[in-house]
Amino acid sequence: MTGCLWPCAAATIATTTAAAMGSGTGRRGWWLFQSKVRCPVDVVRHSRDLLSNVLEDREACSNNHDPKREQKVMADLRKSIREMKCILYGNGDAEPVTEACTNLTKEFFKENMNTLRLLIVCLPYLDLETQKDVTQIIANLQRQKVDSRIIASNYLEANKDLLDILMSGYDNVEIAIHYSTILRDCIRHQVAARYILDSQHMKKFFDYIQLPDFNIASDAFRTFKELLTRHKSSAAEFFSRNYDWFFSEFNFKLLSSPNYIIRRQATQLLGDILLDRSNIPVMICYVSSKENLIILMNLLREQSKAIQLEAFHVFKLFAANQDKPPEIVGILSANKTKLIRFLADFSLDKEDQQFEIDKAKVIAEISML
Ligand SMILES: *[C@@H]1O[C@H](CO)[C@@H](O)[C@H](O)[C@H]1NC(C)=O
Ligand SMILES: *[C@@H]1O[C@H](CO)[C@@H](O)[C@H](O)[C@H]1NC(C)=O
């Protein structure tokens, strides 16, 4: 308990009060908090003890069941988690104190203490507000530096199975959004993203994106997109190793989905992937396939302007390819007149010079066939 002179709330309130009232009255803020506020390290330790309690209670189930005690633990835990959030994010107009954040982060990621694991495992048992606080705390901790190193990344590298637990959240409606949000924060670290990209989890995203619950499905899509676009080198490696099954699923389940939103998001993501410099080999492979071209031509004919435009950004790559395989040339020239007429009429609501330039190039390419 020593070395705890500057707890977040008390410190900031004391200084802001002092600033507002002139020095000397600064101590006035203290008495309110003195008995309650703990220093960052103690807040983490206390939370950890309470979380272990919660877990033991759950595992013990009916034996020793004491609802009164459980309620008290929960209330205490809620407060403790709120305190952590206040240290990391500041409180109202009080900015967070760097040293307090550093101390908290160090204690949080201390080896063999499992604080993050306990929080993730216990998350389903907490109330909604506390779950949101936890999500924010974990997001913040992913960015905190200790001695100019981001220690969250090292922690995740040593505890990769936590990512499996987070992935399992998609099967549980109650927790899916929270786990998905936390997972997205974790894959800011390349080591975590690479672990998921190398795992069987990637296959499951195609089902999660089609879940009937719209919120979960779109959150799963956001995580999926992040995995495939954030860390360029890892994503490029993933595409080259998993090209066949991945794009076959992508075409069949996403681009050909009966759901408009899935088709639109997927078409846009496909453009993001294929137009990225780090994915040039993948792009060349993709635009050499007849099946892919047919899917994109169908998307060009969609009712929705948004999908048409996203599809155009991919379609132009088929046309621009200077080394078109005969089957691609075959389809494009068989549909030459229709395509040129369509493109000539295809305009956007607002002016877009790059689009007009691209369109002219595509028309020229197809006319030459
Ligand atoms: C942070 O930890 C150091 C070393 O344990 C301690 O001296 C300092 O008072 C702590 N600072 C805060 C804000 O808790
Ligand atoms: C392209 O042309 C072929 C042959 O004329 C036709 O069967 C096919 O439906 C056309 N494809 C599209 C997407 O319009």
Cβ–Cβ under 8 Å, residues 152 and 107? no
Distance 340 CA to ligand 2 centre (A): 13
Determine the Cα–Cα distance for residues 336 and 133; give it in Å rounded to an integer.
Answer: 57
Single out the residue of 107, 92, 95, 93 nearest to residue 38, CA to CA: 107
Distance 138 CA to ligand 1 centre (A): 21
pLDDT at 8: 45
Return the residue whose CA atom lies nearest to atom 9 of ligand 2: 335
Distance 142 CA to ligand 2 centre (A): 51
pLDDT at 91: 85
pLDDT at 239: 98
Atom number, ligand 2, closest to the C-alpha of residue 297: 13
Q: Provide the 3-class DSSP secondary structure of residue 352.
A: coil
pLDDT at 369: 87
Ligand number nearest to the C-alpha of 100? 1
Distance 234 CA to ligand 2 centre (A): 37
Encoded amino acid at 66, one letter? D
Atom number, ligand 1, closest to the C-alpha of residue 39: 14
Among 103, 106, 107, 144, say which to mutate for ligand 1: greatest number of ligand atoms within 8 Å of CB: 103
State whether the beta carbon of 284 lies less than 6 angstroms from ligand 2. no
Determine the Cα–Cα distance for residues 17 and 23; give it in Å rounded to an integer.
Answer: 9
Return the residue whose CA atom lies nearest to atom 1 of ligand 1: 103
Distances (CA, A) of 256 to 248, 264, 327: 11, 10, 21
Ligand number nearest to the C-alpha of 11? 1
Residue 25: count of CB within 10 angstroms of its CB: 12
Ligand number nearest to the C-alpha of 337? 2
State whether the beta carbon of 19 lies less than 6 angstroms from ligand 2. no
Single out the residue of 273, 253, 320 nearest to residue 293, CA to CA: 320
State whether the beta carbon of 334 lies less than 6 angstroms from ligand 2. yes
Cβ–Cβ under 8 Å, residues 173 and 216? yes
* Phi, psi of 47, deg, nearest 5: -60, -45
Maximum pairwise Cα distance, the chain: 87
Atom number, ligand 1, closest to the C-alpha of residue 6: 13
pTM: 0.87
Determine the Cα–Cα distance for residues 285 and 294; give it in Å rounded to an integer.
Answer: 15
Q: Could you tell me the domains of the chain?
A: 233-369 (1.25.10.10)
Determine the Cα–Cα distance for residues 199 and 257; give it in Å rounded to an integer.
Answer: 24
pLDDT tens across the length of the chain (369 residues)? 333 333 444 444 443 433 343 333 333 444 344 445 689 999 999 999 999 999 988 887 666 678 888 899 999 999 999 999 999 999 887 899 999 999 999 999 998 899 999 999 999 999 999 999 999 999 999 999 999 999 999 999 999 999 999 999 999 999 999 999 999 999 999 999 999 999 999 999 999 999 999 999 999 999 999 999 999 999 999 999 999 999 999 999 999 999 999 999 999 999 999 999 999 999 999 999 999 999 999 999 999 999 999 999 999 999 999 999 999 999 999 999 999 999 999 988 888 999 999 999 999 999 998
Ligand number nearest to the C-alpha of 315? 2
